Structure 1
């Protein structure tokens, strides 16, 4: 009986070792998986301010060279894709600096990479901010933005500024395909602009295009050179270069049978 008892103790001891080993391996696997989780993704939280709350969204991604890049959305203020100039992630601490609005966020990332708790500093004030990882950022509703399907024809077009060797890509809208229409070529303002002249989530050229086309006027809007689908280099272009891009658009419209 004693012999059996000793064998049972030995078996229990071996079982305990195996269980401890398994637990250790599971713990190692969990730590291994956690270490492979990236800071990249969408992080959303609410900033408590006097009189209410403001939603804050950080979108973090990785460049081809491995460096991090990020943007800031403030949905309740109608601001989107504000560049975050400084993005540093080290020792599970995230530092984001938004120089355009004079704000700095610094927070500690949880072990499971689902929550970041920290502070947002701006204009001499420090406010607590906790952001959570989400699958999709909150959608900012723009009631003035037209919704498809449109009651007119919309088609993607492309033409070349032969003088500069630049391909310009844009959108041409036509009231219908059964007549010839007057046309407006929209020209963007200063700074690199896409065909919708998108700024802080607003798309004024899309709204203007929708209105004019519904009134029987064809509209051509184009990505600036070096922006969107257009080729070339915006930063190296002069006012004369931009003027030649516009003239290339005029020449293209002359070839359209609907105009």
Structure 2
């Protein structure tokens, strides 16, 4: 038994050495930042090898997207190509041994942007300290009311200060495109943040899922500006039925809609 140990140890070392030589330099997690019209989006690409080649996924933490599939991965002569059919995007980069980074272009819908990726073991932690966390120091109630002109049921959240009565109230109105009650965009929730602030200042706040979004019924794509205006009027009518609300102090805060 003792005479076999040196040979076995040598075999293990040899296998580990061969495996180390076979590891691809692009295997691992790579972090880079896209700059698009003044907006910076961080991307994390995870690459690992399999028996039949490479497999990879991409995260976009600033957009709240994770494990985006990368359909085709090739790495030859220090050139890396990533093809994402679902996004209509392609990344082509050159691996630089001297600085251990990949430098290339990210192309989507005919537009190309420089993207330099560096290897990272830590990944990215997204911190959004502005998002309010429960329990809130005020009342929060899910509500549903109807736009009688189209029989559309609109679902939303009404927040009320913890104490007092006859509150002034604000209705938050979304901008272009179908939006939920928090105006969620790239993991940001601006209407939730605004509602939290206003309610802490003594205002009641109503924020609503657009028709056809979330728990609201109806169709967003076939609605007109007049329909959306009627939805707001339905919200005003509903608030006037609430005993906690001062019916003479109902205000609107809205984002610009494209026309």
Regarding TM over 0.5, the answer is: yes
Higher share of residues assigned helix: 1
Which deviations, in whole Å up to 9, do the C-alpha atoms of 1:1-58 show, x marking residues without a partner? xxxxxxxxxxxxxxxxxxxxxxxxxxxxxxxxxxxxxxxxxx9642389xxxx85257
Q: Which residue of 1 aligns with 2:63?
A: 80
Structure with bigger strand share is 2
Separation of aligned partners in 2, 1:48 and 1:177:
46
Q: Does 1:207 align with 2:190?
A: no
Identify if the C-alpha distance between structure 1 residues 242 and 142 changes in structure 2 by more than 3 Å, giving closer, same or farther: same
Note if contact 2:71-2:85 (Cα within 8 Å) is conserved in structure 1: no
| Cα shift at 1:105 | 4.3
Deviations 1:102-133, CA, capped at 9 Å, x for gaps: 84248xxxxxxxxxxx997422657568899x
Alignment partners' CA distance in 2, 1:147 and 1:48:
28
- Counterparts of 2:156 and 2:169, CA distance in 1: 14
Instruction: Sort the Cα spacing of 1:48 and 1:166 in 2 relative to 1 into closer, same or farther, 3 A.
Output: closer
Q: Which residue of 1 aligns with 2:243?
A: 257
CA distance in structure 2 between the partners assigned to 1:198 and 1:96 by the alignment: 25
Pairing partner for 1:47 from 13, 16, 32 = 32
1:49-128 map, 5 Å? 56-57=43-44, 73=60, 75=61, 79-81=62-64, 89=71, 95-97=83-85, 103-105=89-91, 121-122=105-106, 123=112
Aligned to 1:157: 143
Matching residue of 2:172? 186
Aligned residues: 183
RMSD, matched Cα: 4.0
What secondary structure does 1:243 align onto? helix
Q: CA deviation at 1:178?
A: 4.3
Q: Which of 187, 200, 222 pairs up with 2:208? A: 222
In the TM superposition, residue 229 of structure 1 has moved relative to its aligned partner by: 1.6
Q: Is the radius of gyration larger for structure 1 or structure 2?
A: 1
Alpha-carbon shift at residue 147 of structure 1 (Å): 2.0
> Are 2:30 and 2:117, in contact at CA under 8 Å, matched by a contact in 1?
no
- Contact 1:98–1:104 (Cα < 8 Å) also in 2: no
Name structure 1 gaps, 5 residues minimum: 1-42, 60-69, 107-117
What SS does the aligned partner of 2:221 have? helix
Q: How does 1:133-148 map to 2 (within 5 A)?
A: 139-148=125-134
In the TM superposition, residue 89 of structure 1 has moved relative to its aligned partner by 3.9
Segment of structure 1 superposing worse, 159-168 or 174-183:
174-183
Change (3 A) 1:140 1:253: same
**1:160 alignment partner, SS class:** strand
Give 2:234's aligned residue.
248
Residue aligning to 1:25: none
Q: TM-score, normalised by structure 1?
A: 0.57
Partners of 1:47 and 1:129 within 8 A in 2: yes
TM superposition score normalised by structure 2? 0.57
CA 1:138 to 1:248, structure 2 compared with 1: closer, same or farther past 3 Å? farther
